[in-house]
Structure 1
Amino acid sequence: MTSEQLHVPRRDPATMMRLSRLGSLHQCRLSFMRILTRRMARENWQFSRSLFDIDSNGVGRAVYTAQGPQRAYSLVAFAHDLPADKRSDRVIADAWDATFTLFDGVPTGDDLERLAKNVPLQEAGRVSQTELSLSRANRSVRLWTHVVERLASGRQPDHDQIDAVGYLMRTTAVYGSGKFGAADRDVIADREEMQAPFQAEMLSVYLTRTFVRDLVNHMAGSLGGTRAVPLEPEMARRLGIGNSTGLGMAPFIINHPILFNNWMMVREEAISRVRSIRCASPEDTENFRRLVERSAVSVERWRSEHPVQLEKVSCLKADLQILSQYLPDWNATADHPWNSLIEWSERSLSEEGQELVASLILEPYGALVDGLAGCMADGNPDAFRIDGSMTLRDVVALLQQQFGWALGLDWSDPANCGRAWYVSEEKLEPRMGERFEEPIADYEQPLAPARDAAAAFSALERCDPEEAVAKFLLRHPEHRHTVRRAQMGRVAPYGEIRDNTISASVMPIDMLRAKLSFFGATHFDPRSDRWVRICMYSGAPYPEDLTTANADLWVYPEPGE
């Protein structure tokens, strides 16, 4: 094969689907927030604030509408005067500083009255199919107080305090896809602007950020009167929306193997395409070098107190230094320079650094990779159907291919099965507990595909390899879900985590970060091994400033900003 014919294949799922690798993913061009902002700018969406009826105590309602080429979407926001003793990021909270819904269209007065009776209640209320999402947020109290008081006195907030937190409010849940009566995914799946995953939720958060900026300016004006000044645009852009995410998100990538496969496979296909480019233009390589510099600025602002994350950030900073020292010697004019850069990173950098480089090489090639965004949704319902005619020999081969690493483990060893997933009775939310210390084994959820695959493999080995799957499952219905997953692997090579999700040392935050990186989150800040805080839309232009020139690379701060 000549260099001209080189096609670099997608990276091996056996490598990419390890938890440590998934826990090192970074946002990229195909992250859902950036897909949305690019589209809104390209299509010249129009934004308006038709209602902002909030009193001096911060109580009231507001409506923000985004008008696309074919239809409008409106964020309906309710602001509350929340007592300090009621403020909690826990999912069991029943009151918040602000609550929201994304309305399909423009709400009428009757719609607002109906929503006012339900949206502030969140789980205790109900919404309808005209609502696409339901969410809530709490203030970052110290930063909120600092910003309001500074603005009220006519001064801007302190830059260091802004960077230390990064957001004035953080969401504690953004529900969609039929939750609490909201519209099912099928209602909007055929809309062009909603075909990529989680676009309704990302739009809700984008508009929420604008509401938070407006609210803090309003509260400062109420406190300071004529002395008050609004938040400067540059300072406002540095603020994103925080998010507190716990174990409720972790099982998502286990329970949605086709969907998560599509996310991963699209990303890997994009990386493969760029690695296969024979010649890089000086403009493309210079763009890459600039984004390496801007990434270093972002990493310097990355704050965390968790020892695992501190080590990751430290490694990433060291990786960026190594990368910066290497780039002057990198022969960007040689054949397939991006492939050589990735191969160098695999020899020289940690997984954090490797995955950052893999994300950054996509940036100069929007024309080559952006179209892949349309392939990230799950449009293959037939994959969930079990092929009962398949022979057991073929099922065994599929299990060996996807779970070979797990088939020889001793699944009675506490090190291999020390944890168990269950659903809390109080809030019907996923939890993880210690199998041998808590009475939870009887309530365990099927979130251990590797262990279940080993059990199914053992049963299959005792059967006639030419027997049909249908006959086997009549005798062993307990293995239906495993056989289904094995067969899904034929079309979803990145659908299975190649690690033990119930081991005594499993880090659920790796699963959280994997999903959140596709959202476009940055500055992951774990508060334990089971929940994490992030920042969304930090650096993004606000609706009134959104253009095709600033709709994409906002995620990378400029040096000196």
Structure 2
Amino acid sequence: MSIATPSLRPPEQIMHPRWLGAMQPNRLSAARSFVAKMVREKWQIRLESIDIDTRGNGTLLYRIQTPAAVMSFVAFTCEPSSVNRTSRIIGSSWDMLGTLMDGEADADRIEQNRRELPKLYSGRAPEGTLVWFRANQSVRLFEHVRESLAAGHQPDAGRVAEVGYLMRNTGLDGNGTFGTRDFRDYEETHPLAAPYHAQMLAAYLMRELSVDLVQHLARLDSADAVALSPAIRRTLAIGNGSALGLVLFSFNRPHLLQALIGGHEAALAEVLDRALDAGDPVWERLESLLNRSILYRQQDGGRYVSLPSGAQISTELRAVKRLAQAARHSGAARPLRLLAESVRGTYLPETAETLHAILLELDPEATDRHQISAAIDESLLVDATAPVEALRAALEDSFGWALELPLAPVEEANRVWYKSRDSEEPRCGPASEVPEDTHDLAFDVPRELRRLHAAALAQPAGTAVGTLLLAEPTLEQAVAHVQNLANSPYSIPRLDLRDDDLVPVHLVHLLNGFTFGLDKTVDRLERILRGLIFDGAPFRDELSIEQAADWYWAPANDIFELPVVDVIEWSEN
């Protein structure tokens, strides 16, 4: 039984960048909720055709059958080239380009995509296109796997585990980009009506394609080629790299951030406030998930810099197991809350958030009620008729943190956020290193709200907000934030974007890990994050297995009861 009014964590605790960056993938994250949907609805995905030559040039077509609709995934692959090839979004040479479309893939739409996709920014997607995507083969792994399979044996398991993917995503573009379908236009019954599920399906099928492609090429190389064993296959994910663009995203989408974090906090509060006795079977489930997570983090050999390593988190989770036993027999009315409070402040934020992600699994139905299932109204409209004193009161009540946040002194507040002229890639750097006419893309929340507060104090009672804006039109965005987000405590990260010492990777991890569901996210240069999408997720031939939705935090073969053999019968599909 749940407490009627669960207690949410205060925003001053979790909206700090260090804590935001510690929030972990969980069952509400896009990748995990998407796989759960596929398993629950028993989606059927088929490789309809594969026409690839020995150099890797050709086309693959997949058909996705859902209870609500049919979709198509078409990919155009080519021989890898080192010219203009990069893992960053600014590349212009890719090993694979493709499209995810509503409905059946007719010849005209396939050919239009074949023409338009290579143009990228100047290309236009045909009607019914949901996502355009790009990917490159792993230079460390793809050829090794191909050669191994062609020689009749499995690739080196250690090498596969170290890299973790055959292909790396370099772009998932939807929601109106290049003429793709606007997410707000999706019907409520559309199978991808939840935020980022369209991008997740594209990434999921990239993973399927990477295995189908390497097996097909191995078969072309040798009639004695074998397919990947289920054990090896399950250790393959899709690689992904992200950087500074996600920092701007976290400030440009406050309504979405409020919905994501607010939903997570509401779900967590319900779980923490459950009344449990020592004999409740929930405790065995908790221990099982802790054991899985301990082993999963222990096996993570990534070289972390700003973020803690898997070994550190694994070690602390062992201590959390002992605390869980103590909480179980404590006699407390809300033992899970007692457990969470004993972990917070004692161990790493990542350890605490891993525990929270595990706790959300203890009441799946309650947690899933907080899943965002449709587009969010993200408008920020100004009410010019409102009195200034109401604006000032809302600012002081809901944004007092912005008025009190310690800001970098002038000599240490030089960070400028901009896009490069040649590639449109988001960047940031010292003001002294960018041209004077560079457009700063960042909305400096604390400084702008302080400027608004001073302007509001200078206005006599009864003055309309419109009058203030006529005198200070550059304050419109600040006014819009106060008027629209006063009741959204989880909408804005509490930090100084101008601070020279800011560590951007924390916000990159918030979006990549917590929101999208990437794991094993290794950081570089305090601003770049490389991770895995669908690490350990079921493949398309496993979606009919009910327990396949319970795929995360588990080593290969610990979840799905499938036969594991060194050599399996060859199959194109």
- Scaled by the length of structure 2, what TM-score is found? 0.92
**Partner of residue 259 from structure 1, selected from 253, 256, 270:** 256
In structure 1, distance between residues paired with 2:250 and 2:13:
17
In structure 2, distance between residues paired with 1:265 and 1:411:
26
Superposed displacement of residue 209, structure 1: 0.8
In structure 2, distance between residues paired with 1:4 and 1:549:
27
Superposed displacement of residue 442, structure 1: 4.1
**Partner of residue 537 from structure 2, selected from 521, 535, 540:** 540
In structure 2, distance between residues paired with 1:370 and 1:99:
34
1:243: which partner in 2?
240
**Partner of residue 479 from structure 2, selected from 476, 483, 493:** 483
Superposed displacement of residue 397, structure 1: 2.8
1:294: which partner in 2?
292
1:122: which partner in 2?
120
The unaligned stretches of length 5 or more in structure 1 are none
* 1:165-198, Cα deviation, whole Å (9 max, x unpaired): 1111110111110101111112215335333211
* 1:502-531, Cα deviation, whole Å (9 max, x unpaired): 211112211111111221110011122222
* 1:195-222, Cα deviation, whole Å (9 max, x unpaired): 3211111111111111111001112222
Query: RMSD across aligned C-alpha pairs, in angstroms?
Result: 2.2
Report the 3-state secondary structure (helix = DSSP H, G, I; strand = E; otherwise coil) of the residue aligned with 1:238: coil
Contact 1:28 1:520 in 2 (8 A): yes
In structure 2, distance between residues paired with 1:360 and 1:56:
45
2:565: which partner in 1?
none
2:161 is aligned with 1:196 = no
**Partner of residue 389 from structure 1, selected from 380, 385, 390:** 385
1:46: which partner in 2?
44
2:441: which partner in 1?
445
In structure 1, distance between residues paired with 2:3 and 2:85:
60
1:214: which partner in 2?
212
Give the partner amino acid of 1:131: T
Superposed displacement of residue 464, structure 1: 2.0
1:184: which partner in 2?
182
In structure 2, distance between residues paired with 1:312 and 1:457:
42
* 1:392-443, Cα deviation, whole Å (9 max, x unpaired): 2222233334443343568682465221111221122321111244335742
2:553 is aligned with 1:556 = yes
Give the partner amino acid of 2:205: L
In structure 1, distance between residues paired with 2:95 and 2:258:
36
2:32 is aligned with 1:34 = yes
2:496 is aligned with 1:500 = yes
Superposed displacement of residue 89, structure 1: 1.3
Superposed displacement of residue 58, structure 1: 0.8
Number of aligned pairs?
555
Report the 3-state secondary structure (helix = DSSP H, G, I; strand = E; otherwise coil) of the residue aligned with 2:245: coil
Report the 3-state secondary structure (helix = DSSP H, G, I; strand = E; otherwise coil) of the residue aligned with 1:361: helix
1:454: which partner in 2?
450
Change (3 A) 1:268 1:422: same
Superposed displacement of residue 24, structure 1: 0.4
2:325: which partner in 1?
328
Q: 1:262-277 to 2 correspondence within 5 Å?
A: 262-277=259-274
Give the partner amino acid of 1:220: A
* 1:75-129, Cα deviation, whole Å (9 max, x unpaired): 1111111222442112221111111111111111122111111223333422133
Contact 2:408 2:498 in 1 (8 A): no
Change (3 A) 1:410 1:307: closer
Superposed displacement of residue 149, structure 1: 1.6
Mean Cα displacement is larger for which, 451-460 or 330-339?
330-339
Contact 2:536 2:555 in 1 (8 A): no
2:401: which partner in 1?
405
Report the 3-state secondary structure (helix = DSSP H, G, I; strand = E; otherwise coil) of the residue aligned with 1:66: strand
Give the partner amino acid of 1:23: G
* 1:144-182, Cα deviation, whole Å (9 max, x unpaired): 122112112111112221221111111011111010111
* 1:40-90, Cα deviation, whole Å (9 max, x unpaired): 222222221112111111110111111111211111111111222442112
**Partner of residue 460 from structure 2, selected from 464, 476, 491:** 464
In structure 2, distance between residues paired with 1:356 and 1:438:
40
Mean Cα displacement is larger for which, 421-430 or 65-74?
421-430
Give the partner amino acid of 2:287: R
Change (3 A) 1:410 1:17: closer
In structure 2, distance between residues paired with 1:412 and 1:38:
44
2:563: which partner in 1?
none
Give the partner amino acid of 1:395: L
